[in-house]
Amino acid sequence: MNFLKKTASALFHTGSPEPRLEQFSLRSEALGREYLIDAYLPGGHAKSRDGKYPFVLFNDGQDLPRMDFQRILQKLMEGEEWQPHLIFGVHCNERRTKEYGTARQADYKGRGDLAPDYTKFILQELLPHLRLRFPLSDRPEEAAIAGFSLGGLSAFDIAWTHPEVFGAVGVFSGSFWWRSHEVRPEDPDADRIMHDIVEKTDLFDPHQRFWFQCGALDETDDRNHNGVIDAIDDTLDMMKALRNKGVPDYNIRYLELPEGRHEPSTWGLAMPDFLRWV
């Protein structure tokens, strides 16, 4: 039995169906700081494919405990509704609005200026470390990245620009309003950075999959005065942009919660849908 198989046996086959949480720190040279990582490991009945596991990375990993994430995983596992995955929650800190964003450019206020370095951290530092420590699948279709609010925008940006790594992305109340110019009354929906990136991308992977969630009570702003809040408008417009690029409908899922708010309790309600989908 090689080291990887020994590690997998020790980590996952504990005799308990309950998911287990481990925490560790990883220093990023790209960003010059330590990251706290939560690793949610499947319980004793987990079965791997070829000795490796599908996995999901979450931005804003500190929000997962606030939605009782371990209980959500346990219920899915007990109901056999979910193929076991390895789940990793990457904690952010006070530099969140600098590290999350779009790697192509910062927004018009200069926020997200460290997004290129954060992307480098995910791809060149975190994933190689995780692959050494855990038996992760190397198939893009078995790798997903997700996030909440601004973390969802970051996850989408990383996945869209690196489909060779992530075959799926989940966006909870995504900050697709991220813009290169302040709102202009004559064209209030212009200048949205991520929409522009998608529209100007020539090559993309038609097999990549996209999951979106919005809450009808995410906010009250309606900049174009069409009776639909901006959070929903921006997400629906993103889905339209994906379809215009040729992404098939069956690779796009949208979940709207009528009583949903911009907070972890709502994202926890949506989480089982995302995990079954992924």
SS3 at position 13: coil
Q: Are 207 and 166 in contact (CB under 8 A)?
A: no
pLDDT for res 1: 33
Which DSSP string do the residues of 91-115 spell out, in sequence order?
A: ---TTHHHHSSBTTB--TTSTTTTH
pLDDT for res 8: 46
Mean pLDDT score of the chain: 91
Mean pLDDT of 96-109: 97
Cα(169)–Cα(156) distance, integer angstroms: 6
Say if domain 3-277 classifies as CATH 3.20.20.60: no
Q: Which of 137, 128, 153, 122 is nearest to 234 (CA)?
A: 153
Cα(65)–Cα(68) distance, integer angstroms: 5
> What residues are paired with 145 via a beta bridge?
57, 169
Digit-coded pLDDT (tens) for 192-230: 999 999 999 987 888 999 999 999 999 999 999 999 999
pLDDT for res 4: 39
Q: What is the pTM of this model?
A: 0.92
pLDDT for res 267: 98
Digit-coded pLDDT (tens) for 142-162: 999 999 999 999 999 999 999
For residue 120, pLDDT beyond 50: yes
Which tops the pLDDT comparison, 241 or 13? Answer: 241
pLDDT for res 17: 59
Which tops the pLDDT comparison, 84 or 247? Answer: 247
* Most distant pair of Cα atoms in the chain: their distance: 66
Domain coordinates in residue numbering, the chain: 3-277
For residue 7, pLDDT beyond 80: no
pLDDT for res 13: 47
Which tops the pLDDT comparison, 190 or 13? Answer: 190
Q: Which of 66-70, 72-76, 113-117, 197-201 has the lowest mean pLDDT?
A: 72-76
User: What sign has the CA pseudo-torsion 95, 195, 242, 227?
Assistant: positive
Confidence of residue 5 (pLDDT cuts 50, 70, 90): very low
Cα(194)–Cα(262) distance, integer angstroms: 20
pLDDT for res 79: 77
pLDDT for res 52: 87
Digit-coded pLDDT (tens) for 35-70: 999 999 986 544 455 778 999 999 999 999 999 999
